[in-house]
Structure 1
C-alpha cells in the first residue's frame, strides 16, 4: 500500500467507533472459523397479524418472472436466480427485499409462488442471507401473510430461521440506518411470533438508535432526505403494527409516535411545494415513498404535528411567494457513518414557481466507479471548489476521509452566513453569505486570503431549463424569467454539460455554469 492510500485509510478509520471495528473483526473471524447454522425448530402455531397497507409499492414484478429495479429490467427465462448479480449488488438486494409482495399488482397465488420458490432455493442464497435484506424481506413477508390471512408452517419456519440469523448478525459493524432497519424488522418478527427475545432486542435497538439517529430538529442524522422518507415509512409501519395488534402494553408505542412526529415535521419543512425533496447527499427519485404519502399515512395513524424548525441538521429552507431556497450549512453527518455523504458544504437548490431551477444533480448509482465518485464530489454541487481538491475527501463507494467542518455560523432574519475549513491544508477557509430579499437572492463567496490556486463556483441547472442566455457576466433564463449576475474579480465563465440523475441508472443531460474567480465572488439571482 502506498503512503497516500495509507493516509487516506487512516483518516477514514480514525472516525469509526470501537464497536464497528470490533464487530468487523468478530464477524470476520467467527464466520470463517465458526460458521453456524440457524435451524431452530419453531414449536408453536403462528396466526397472522392484523395488517392493512396504507399504500402499496410501485410494480416491480410482472408476469413471466420479469423484475424491474433501479430502472433496470430483467426477465428470468427459466427459473429465478435469487443471486443474480449482473446489475450490481443493490439490484440483487432489491430482488431479495420482496417489496413486490406488497405492490399494486401481485396476486396472493403469485406471491406465495415467489415465496415458495425462494424457500426451495434457500441453500443457494448469498446476498439474501445478509442482515439488511433479511430485515426488509421479513417485514414484507409478514405484511403479505398477515393481510391475506395465510398460515403456512413451512414459510413460518423459514421466516423464523431468518430472524434467528438476523439476531446473531446485527449490523453493529455498520450502525446507522442499517442497524435501525434491523430493529424495525425485529419488532415485526417479535409481534408475528410473539417472541420475547426478539422484542427485547428490538426495543433496545429502537430506543437507543432513534434517540441517537433522529436529531433535535427531526432529521435523520445521515442527512439524506430520501433515507429520511424510507426510515419514516418504516417507523410509521411499526406504529401501525403496535396500534392494531394488542400484545405488549408498555411505553414503546408512545416513544415511536413522538419520534415519528419529529420526523414528519422535519420532512414537511424540507419538502417543496410541488412535492419534491432536495436531492442532497445520497438521494434519488422513485426509491422512497413520497412526502405526501407519508403525511397521509401519519394522519391515518392519528399523529398530529406542528410546524418544524430546521436547526442541527444543518439544512435551511426559505419559502416565500417568489421562490424556495434550500441551503446546506451543516457538517456532513455522523462521523462514524458518513457513507451516504457528499462533498457539498454550502450547496443549495432553488425552485421558482414550483419549478426546479438550480439543483443538486442527485445520484444514479451505488456502484464503486468513477461515476459514483463524480456524483459525490464537490464539482457536482452548487458550491465552490479550490484547485483539484474536494472540500471533503469522498472515496471508494461509501468512504470519507478528511471532512470539511463548519467552524462559524451566523443567522439573522434575512442573512445566513457560514464558514468551513475544508481547504485548511491550502491555508484558507471558505465563507458563503446568503442575503434574502422578496424577489432576489444575493450570494457572496469569500476565500479567506489570496492564493494562486484556481477557485471555481458551480451552478447546475435542471434539465428542464431549455434556454440559457449568457452575456458577459450575466445569465438570463427567458422561459423562467430568472437572471443571474456575477461581480467581483470575475475571471471567466464557462458552460458545460453534465448528467442529471432522474433515478438510478437514468440520466438526462443538463447545463452547468463554472465561474472562475479570485478571492471573492458576488452572485445576484433575480426572480
Structure 2
C-alpha cells in the first residue's frame, strides 16, 4: 500500500493510522532519495516539526529509528556530500543533540523489549558518529544498556525473545549495523560479530525457501529488510528456546511449527494464539500460511489476526489459547510442553507437544495435544488428541496461501493445487468438514481473501487424523 503525502510533506497525522505515522517519522524512506532531496526532507522536518509532547515524531521509538537512519544515510551513501557541507553538519547536529537529550530522559523502560533495545542502539550509534562530551556520555549509556539487553533479548538458540520473525529480522538488521560500525572503528568492544552470526543463523531457520519470513506472532512482509542468509542445510532444524521446529528438503519443501511460549512473560504484546500452528511451502512456494497482521489499531482485524481461529491449529469453538484483548494485551497464556522431538536423519521428524491454554482459562478443562509426522517424500500427518470434562464442539483450521485452489472434493478427500504442486488432504474422526474464505494480511494494511479448510467434532475426547500428501 502506497500513499502520496504531498510536497512539501506534512508531518502531522496522516489519517492512515498510527503505524503509518510512525513509519513516516522513522525516515526509513530516506535511503531512496538523492542527496539534495534527503537534505531538504530533513531540514523540513527540523523546521516544521518542533518539539511537542503530543507528537508521534517525538516519541522515543521514532526518535531512535530516525537518528539511526539520518546518521546511517550521511555516514555511508551520502558521506562525501555531508562532509563537504558545513551548514548541513551543523543543522543536523543541533537537531540530533535535542533529540538525544530528550531520548536519554525518556528511555522506554516501561515497555522494554525491542523498544528499549532500539533506544540503546541509537545512543550508541550517535555516540560513535560524533566527537563531543555529550556524545561520549550517550555512547556510554547505550553500551551499558546493550550489554544488559543483548543477554536478555537473545535466546540461547539465537532467536529474539519476543519470538516474532519480523522483529527478529529487525534485530538482525540492527546487529549488522552495530557490527559494521564497531569493526570499522577498530573497537570490537562487544563481540557484536558473534551476536550477529548467531542471530542470522536463527533467521535462516524461520525463513521459507522464497527468502521471506514465517508469519508467526506479529509478523508481516516488507517492514524490515530481508535477511540475506547463507544457504540453509537440508534436514530437520529446531530452535528449542524459541519453540520453532521444522524441516527443509532438497525438493524445496519446508515446514515450520510453533511449539513454544507465546513470548516473554513480562512483554507478550506481539504474541498471537498460534501455539502448535504451522506453515508449509511445497516446491519453493507457500502452500499453507499464517494470517499475518493487518494493523496495530484496536479493531476487528487486529483481534482476528491474534485469535486462535486465524491460525493453523485446533481447539474448542470460540475459545482462545490465551486471553487477548486491546491491541497488545495478553492476560492468561498457555504453558507449552514438547514431549517428543525425533528428527530422522535427512528423512523427516516426529514432534508431539501439548499446551494448557484452554484448561487454564477454565474452558471445561479442555486439553489439546498435537502430533506431527513429516516425511521428506511429501507427506504430513497431524493427530489431534483432545479431551474435556464436558462435551464441546472442537474445530481445526488450515489456511491456504491465496494461490491455492480447491480443484476436487470427494467424500473424505480434497485436492488442492498451486503452481506446480498438487496436494491430497484427508481427515478421519470428524463429524463434518467445510471450506470457507478467510482474510490474509501478508503486509500491513493489505487484506487478501483465501481458502480455509475447517474440520469439526463434538465430543468430550477423541483423536482426529489429518493427512496431507503432495508427493503424488
Give your verdict on TM over 0.5: yes
Report if aligned partners of 1:96, 1:133 keep a CA contact under 8 Å in 2: yes
Match in the other structure for 1:320: 249
Structure 2 distance, partners of 1:116, 1:288, is 25
Number of residue equivalences? 438
Q: 2:111 aligns with which of 161, 171, 174?
A: 174
Q: 1:521 aligns with which of 439, 444, 464?
A: 464
Q: 2:426 aligns with which of 447, 468, 485?
A: 485
Match in the other structure for 2:335: 405
Structure 2 distance, partners of 1:449, 1:394, is 22
Q: Which has the higher strand share?
A: 2
User: CA offsets per residue over residues 28-81 of structure 1, 9 Å max, x none?
Assistant: xxxxxxxxxxxxxxxxxxxxxxxxxxxxxxxxxxxxxxxxxxx2403325x422
TM-score (norm 1): 0.80
Is residue 434 from structure 1 mapped to residue 372 from structure 2 by the alignment? Answer: yes
How far off is 1:469 after superposition? 2.4
User: CA offsets per residue over residues 157-182 of structure 1, 9 Å max, x none?
Assistant: 11111011111100000000001111
How far off is 1:454 after superposition? 1.1
Structure 1 distance, partners of 2:442, 2:365, is 38
Match in the other structure for 1:31: none
Match in the other structure for 1:419: 354
Q: 2:149 aligns with which of 209, 216, 226?
A: 209
Task: Provide the secondary structure at the position in 2 that maps to 1:280.
Answer: coil
Match in the other structure for 1:446: 385
Report if aligned partners of 2:371, 2:383 keep a CA contact under 8 Å in 1: yes
Report if aligned partners of 1:268, 1:308 keep a CA contact under 8 Å in 2: no
Match in the other structure for 2:31: 102
Task: Provide the secondary structure at the position in 2 that maps to 1:75.
Answer: coil
Task: Provide the secondary structure at the position in 1 that maps to 2:264.
Answer: coil
TM-score (norm 2): 0.89
Q: 1:263 aligns with which of 190, 196, 199?
A: 199
Q: 1:295 to 1:177 in 2, by over 3 A?
A: farther
How far off is 1:422 after superposition? 0.8
Report if aligned partners of 1:441, 1:526 keep a CA contact under 8 Å in 2: yes
Structure 2 distance, partners of 1:441, 1:356, is 15
Task: Provide the secondary structure at the position in 1 that maps to 2:405.
Answer: coil
Match in the other structure for 2:346: none
Match in the other structure for 2:220: 284
Structure 2 distance, partners of 1:275, 1:107, is 29
Pick 1 or 2: higher relative contact order, CA cutoff 8 A, min separation 6. 1
Structure 2 distance, partners of 1:173, 1:379, is 31
1:55-70 pair list within 5 angstroms:
none
How far off is 1:457 after superposition? 0.4
Report if aligned partners of 1:357, 1:462 keep a CA contact under 8 Å in 2: yes
Q: 1:117 aligns with which of 39, 44, 52?
A: 44
User: CA offsets per residue over residues 193-244 of structure 1, 9 Å max, x none?
Assistant: 2322111111111111111111011000111111111111011011111222
How far off is 1:400 after superposition? 0.6
Structure 2 distance, partners of 1:321, 1:525, is 19
Is residue 80 from structure 1 mapped to residue 9 from structure 2 by the alignment? Answer: yes
User: CA offsets per residue over residues 321-366 of structure 1, 9 Å max, x none?
Assistant: 4531110111101011111110010000111111111110111211
Structure 2 distance, partners of 1:140, 1:331, is 33
Report if aligned partners of 2:237, 2:245 keep a CA contact under 8 Å in 1: no
Task: Provide the secondary structure at the position in 2 that maps to 1:123.
Answer: coil
Match in the other structure for 1:391: 321
Match in the other structure for 1:458: 397
Structure 1 distance, partners of 2:188, 2:248, is 41
Unaligned 5+ segments in structure 2 are: 344-348
How far off is 1:102 after superposition? 1.4
How far off is 1:277 after superposition? 1.5
Match in the other structure for 1:222: 162
Match in the other structure for 2:271: 341
Structure 2 distance, partners of 1:124, 1:263, is 36
Q: 1:506 to 1:373 in 2, by over 3 A?
A: same
Report if aligned partners of 2:108, 2:116 keep a CA contact under 8 Å in 1: yes
Task: Provide the secondary structure at the position in 2 that maps to 1:339.
Answer: coil
Q: 1:188 aligns with which of 111, 118, 125?
A: 125
Report if aligned partners of 2:158, 2:199 keep a CA contact under 8 Å in 1: yes
Match in the other structure for 2:310: 380
Unaligned 5+ segments in structure 1 are: 1-70, 297-306
Structure 1 distance, partners of 2:39, 2:367, is 59
Is residue 236 from structure 1 mapped to residue 176 from structure 2 by the alignment? Answer: yes
Structure 2 distance, partners of 1:405, 1:136, is 34
Report if aligned partners of 2:315, 2:368 keep a CA contact under 8 Å in 1: no
Report if aligned partners of 1:266, 1:309 keep a CA contact under 8 Å in 2: no
How far off is 1:82 after superposition? 0.8
User: CA offsets per residue over residues 388-420 of structure 1, 9 Å max, x none?
Assistant: 211111211111111011145321233110010
